Amino acid sequence: MKPLFCGVGTALITPFTDCNKVDYKALKRLIERQIRLNASAIILCGTTGEAPTLSDYEHKRIIEYGVAVCNGKIPVIAGCGSNDTKHAVMMTKFAKSVGADGALIVTPYYNKTTQNGLIAHYFTILDSVDFPLILYNVPTRTGVNVETETYLKLIKHKNVVGIKEAENSLSKIGELSLFADKISIYAGNDDSLIPIILCGGKGVISVLSNLIPDKVAEVYRLLTNGNIAQAKSIYLRYFRLIKALFCEVNPIPVKYAMSKLSLCKNTLRSPLVKMKCTKVMDNELTRLMEDIVL
């Protein structure tokens, strides 16, 4: 199946008002900015979008609203994962019904499961709705890792179009490269962008691109055109910013950074709290201010 996107998919934050309501006006501005600055896709209601604290009503409305704002200009990929298989099926069916282009399905968290349980979980979703799915592996969040042998079974299903891999293991990246010609592999962390692209990956699902989608897109373009040295030079300019974005739990730092740029309020939902130490982030934003297009 054709990739949902090639390049930079922004794992978009969910902006909240001071009263902790979803800020749809800010969301519209953020989506329009992503389109203007060359993002290839947006991912709504994922980890960076604080999906665990969204009600089903908010979750559904954000997806529907995002589809309307994008209006076909770039793909909308809806975060539909759950540790309850039936809930994941429901959300995936909803995403399809309102015109999303695909769904991102994280592995079950907290209750976890075995590799056989992962296969059963994903196949239940895949068989329930004819819709493009990206499998999402982030073991530091979920406590469960998708083994390569499990991937090889799952990608046989016609509705699996991609893998977002966030294990950050060079060995795993090497293993995935063996079937990168059969499925779209996306870097799940900004700091693994270069090795995954060089191993045949189709792009990155990025937190950094909330701030500088145009620069991340440029790194991807250079890499795919074989200009590795130039891509590396640009990438290294932002490496300290990438580290700053993960100095505390995502999306705490990126929301702080975006609030400093007046792109959103620095409002998070509990149990997330505002950054305690902001000096490193402030220094990076000051250093890179001329690079950031608002």
Spatial CB neighbours of 184, under 8 Å, sequence gap ≥ 6: 3, 4, 6, 134, 161, 162, 163, 201, 202, 203
DSSP label of 165 = E
For 193, the 3-state DSSP assignment is helix
Single out the catalytic residue among 60, 65, 96, 136: 136
- CA angle, 148 then 48 then 115, to 5°: 25
Do 188 and 136 form a contact (C-beta atoms < 8 A)? Answer: yes
Cα separation, 64 vs 120, whole angstroms: 28
Q: What is the dihedral of CA 211, 217, 223, 227, to 10 degrees?
A: -90
Single out the catalytic residue among 60, 164, 202, 215: 164
Angle subtended by helix axes 279-288 and 252-260, to nearest 10: 50
> Is there a catalytic annotation at residue 60?
no
Angle subtended by helix axes 85-97 and 56-70, to nearest 10: 30
Cα–Cα nearest to 173, from 193, 152, 199: 199
Do 139 and 145 form a contact (C-beta atoms < 8 A)? Answer: yes
Largest CA distance in the chain: 50
Neighbouring CB atoms inside 10 A of 254's CB total 23
Do 27 and 62 form a contact (C-beta atoms < 8 A)? Answer: yes
Cα–Cα nearest to 167, from 137, 197, 123: 137
Do 135 and 154 form a contact (C-beta atoms < 8 A)? Answer: yes
Residues noted as catalytic: 136, 164
